[in-house]
Every structure is written in C-alpha cells, then in structure tokens.
Chains A and B, each alone.
Chain A
Amino acid sequence: MIRSVIDVPDLTPEELDSLMDTAEDIIARPDDYADACCRKKLATLFFEPSTRTRLSFEAAMYELGGNVLSVTGAATSSAAKGESVADTAKTVSCYADIIAMRHPKEGAAAVAARNASVPVINAGDGGHCHPTQTLADLLTIRREKGRLGNLTVGLCGDLKFGRTVHSLINAMSRYDGLNFVLISPEELKLPSYVKNESLKKRNIPYSQTTDLEQVIGDLDILYMTRVQRERFFNEEDYLRLRDSYILTPDKMKKARADLSVMHPLPRVNEISVAVDDDPRACYFKQVLNGKYMRMALILMLLKGAGTI
C-alpha cells in the first residue's frame, strides 16, 4: 500500500525531525524548491468547511511548482450523490499525484488511504486527527524556543474535544524535560485515555487547573484553543462553555517575557485582538509554519511514492 499520513504516529521521530529540517531549509532557500513538484497535481478534497488548511495545502503545492485540483464542500461533489469515500479516493487517484482530504467523519481519511493509489494526507477527519496542524505546532515551538524539550507547556480551553491538543501532547511526549499544565473547565478536561497513553505511561509530569491567571506566569508556551461549536450535540452546552477563557493584555502582564502564545486558529474570542500586537503572540507565524511543513510533507510523500 502506498504511504499516506493519517495521524502523527504514522511518522517516525526521525521523519518528524527530517520534515522540520526540510521546512527550515525551504524557509532559508525557497528558490531551490520552486520547481520540486513541477507538473505534479495535488487534489484537495474538502468535505467540511475550512479556509486556512485548504489554502495552506494549495499554497504549499503552488510554491513547490505543482498544480492543484480542488473540491470544496460535499454539496458540490459526488459525495452529495452518495458516492463512498473509497470510490472517491479511487477516482481522484486517476487525476492527481497526491490527495489532501478533510472530511467530517472520523476515519474517513483512513478509508481514503486504503483505497487510493496515491498518497493521502489527512487534512482533518472530524474530531479525530489533524496531523499537519501538529506538524505546524512542532515547527513553531522549535523555531520559537530552539528546542522541543525542557519546556512548560500550558494547554488552555477545550481539552476534551480539541484534537490538536491531543495530537500535540502525543507528538511532544517523546521529548525530555516537559511539563504540561492543563487549563480547562471541568466539563472540557483532557480525556483520561490521552492522559494515560501520552502522559502517565511515559511519566511526564502534568497538572490540571481551571485558573489560567494562576499559572500563566509559569509557562514557556501557552497553547490556546477554541471551544468548537461543531463538536457539541447541544447548543446550550456550547454557549455556556464558549467564553470560559479569554486571553487579554491584562492576563499577558502576568506572563513571562519569553512566553510564546499559540493557537491552531480560527479563533472566536478566546484571544483578544489586542494581544495580536504583543511580540509573544505566535499564532500567525504558526499559520506560515504550517505551509512550510505541508510543503515538506508533500515532498516526502511524493518522493516516497517515486513520483518525484
């Protein structure tokens, strides 16, 4: 079966390091990569709303000299006629050299990967995995801090449904000297299986709190998340929890001078716009880093498939 990336553990630690090295090299010498995917096509199949992830993949392919075929929204695609994910993957494999897919159903990317004859990158399958966001997060931390270990990382907001948080904890747990501070309302605490598998099993220290201001001064990284409306079955619960944590310039006064504030975006109101001008705000750099990591991943998979 052709190599695809559905979740971060599909990549070995060495491959993760290599992807970050490639991304750094792309940043340093973009012209060297401008024709790397010349005459190759990326199909972006987005069956769920997304702006940044789709554009990031498309920008990544264009900057590698490749082309893009795009499907946005299930309503305009054959999925609306009832076509299965497996059939879609087989069909699109006839047109494109690589597929980036977002789908509202968990596991859809895995089904696509099993049926496609070209590499599939999971661009988000419901609340399950979003590996390229984690790649963006890892590169951002490495670029901002110069390391991925020996850090106190605060994760704040929706830690229950926030797939980026689960994935980041899992990906970072192989580095030494980490301490996680989990900041969330009681209802949105990190699920015990994530704690067990990623933290307890590896003896990584962590603490849980509901009070952001109390711990913000201890953090090297503050990873904010949005309470996502689409993950709730009940609108009432969403509205009640939406405004749990809002990062403001006042709260930032209590933070260290070298704190890095991250967010997978889009934000609603959990980071005040006034924080954007703070040099410690890294979330737009994170967006840019995401594009470079997607470029590195496309290159790795196309090389692996013998396409380039």
Chain B
Amino acid sequence: MNVDSIRDGIVIDHIAAGCGMKLYRLLGLENLDAPVAMITNVVSGKLGRKDIIKVDAAIEVNLDIIGYVDPGATVNIIRDGELKEKKRIEMPEKLVNVLFCKNPRCITSCEQELDQVFCLTDRAKREYRCMYCETKASNL
C-alpha cells in the first residue's frame, strides 16, 4: 500500500497497533481541514505491528496526548519534504482538558468551567486519575 510522502506536516510513527484511532480522535484530527492518512497494522521491525498517522499540514499537535496514548510513539516534523525535527515523547505528568471525568459525583460534572485535569498516579501502569475526585481514567 502506498501513501504519498508529505511536504509540510507531521508523521506520528511507531504507534502501538490499535492505538492509532484513539490518537486520531483525541488529537481532533477528524476536524482538520487537511489530508490525514491513518495507516494501521503495518509490519514493524521494532513493534511487530504498528500504526502510523501522517498529517499533510504544518500543524502543532499536543504531545501530551501522544505521550498519554503511547509514550513509545515518535513524532517527525516534515518541512519542504525533509525531516526537520524528531520530537521526543514522554508520558505527561498532567493532562488538561484531554480526558473527561465520567464520575457523575465529581465536581466537574456540575461546574463545567473547571479544567478537566488528570494526573499520572502510576507510571508503570500508565494510570491517570482525575485531580478532583481521583477517579481513574477509564480508557487508554
């Protein structure tokens, strides 16, 4: 399968197979007025299988979201058809307005102007909890 190379944009590579769509949704790429290629289940020497997202637009992406979904992913910034920068991804200590607390008893359920803040509580398990009510983020 061939996908055209991009001139100015980003390539999110080495996404764990199956996580690409989650990342696509959380990054809000469905609302982007630019070509986006979502490639899933590609054979990878490092991972066995991987997903790749290519965005043909020079946009800024929220690296915290990528670090939350898959800290093993890599982000390549492409300019004039060349690799300009490789971004290092880390699991963020805090996610602001990325996830939404599903606990109906949480203060954020009735005070909607509050930022939705999730904090990393267990790095090994990649576990995040709501800063207010400590409910665990339900999906990765």
Q: Give chain A nearest CB distance to B28 CB in angstroms.
A: 26
B123 within 8 A of A: no
Q: Looking across the interface, which residue of chain B has its beta carbon closest to that of A6?
A: B132
A residues in contact with B136, CB < 8 Å = 193
A residues in contact with B113, CB < 8 Å = 84
With known contacts A107-B133, A110-B132, A111-B132, A84–B111 Cβ distance under 8 A:
yes
B134 within 8 A of A: yes
A108 within 8 A of B: yes
Contact B131 A126 (CB under 8 A): no
A106 within 8 A of B: yes
The A/B interface has a contact count, at CB < 8 Å, of: 46
Bound complex: CA A85 to CA B132 (Å)? 13
B103 within 8 A of A: yes
Q: Looking across the interface, which residue of chain A has its beta carbon closest to that of B108?
A: A107
* Residues 112-139 (chain B) with a chain A CB within 8 angstroms: 113-114, 130-136
A217 within 8 A of B: no
B106 within 8 A of A: yes
B110 within 8 A of A: yes
A104 within 8 A of B: yes
Q: Give chain A nearest CB distance to B6 CB in angstroms.
A: 43
**Majority-rule SS of B interface residues:** loop
**Count of chain B residues near A, Cβ 8 A:** 17
Bound complex: CA A192 to CA B121 (Å)? 15
Contact B114 A105 (CB under 8 A): no
A residues in contact with B106, CB < 8 Å = 105-107
27 A–B contacts from the bound complex (CB under 8 Å):
A84-B111, A84-B113, A85-B111, A86-B111, A103-B107, A105-B105, A105-B106, A105-B107, A105-B111, A106-B105, A106-B107, A106-B132, A106-B133, A106-B135, A107-B107, A107-B131, A107-B133, A108-B107, A108-B132, A110-B107, A110-B132, A111-B111, A125-B107, A126-B133, A128-B105, A128-B133, A193-B136
**Majority-rule SS of A interface residues:** mixed
Q: Looking across the interface, which residue of chain B has its beta carbon closest to that of A111?
A: B107
Contact A110 B105 (CB under 8 A): no
With known contacts A104-B105, A106-B106, A128–B111 Cβ distance under 8 A:
no
Contact A107 B130 (CB under 8 A): yes
A127 within 8 A of B: yes
Bound complex: CA A303 to CA B132 (Å)? 27
* Residues 43-62 (chain B) with a chain A CB within 8 angstroms: none
A residues in contact with B97, CB < 8 Å = none
- Of the candidates B108, B109, B114, B134, the one whose C-beta lies within 8 Å of that of A128 is B134
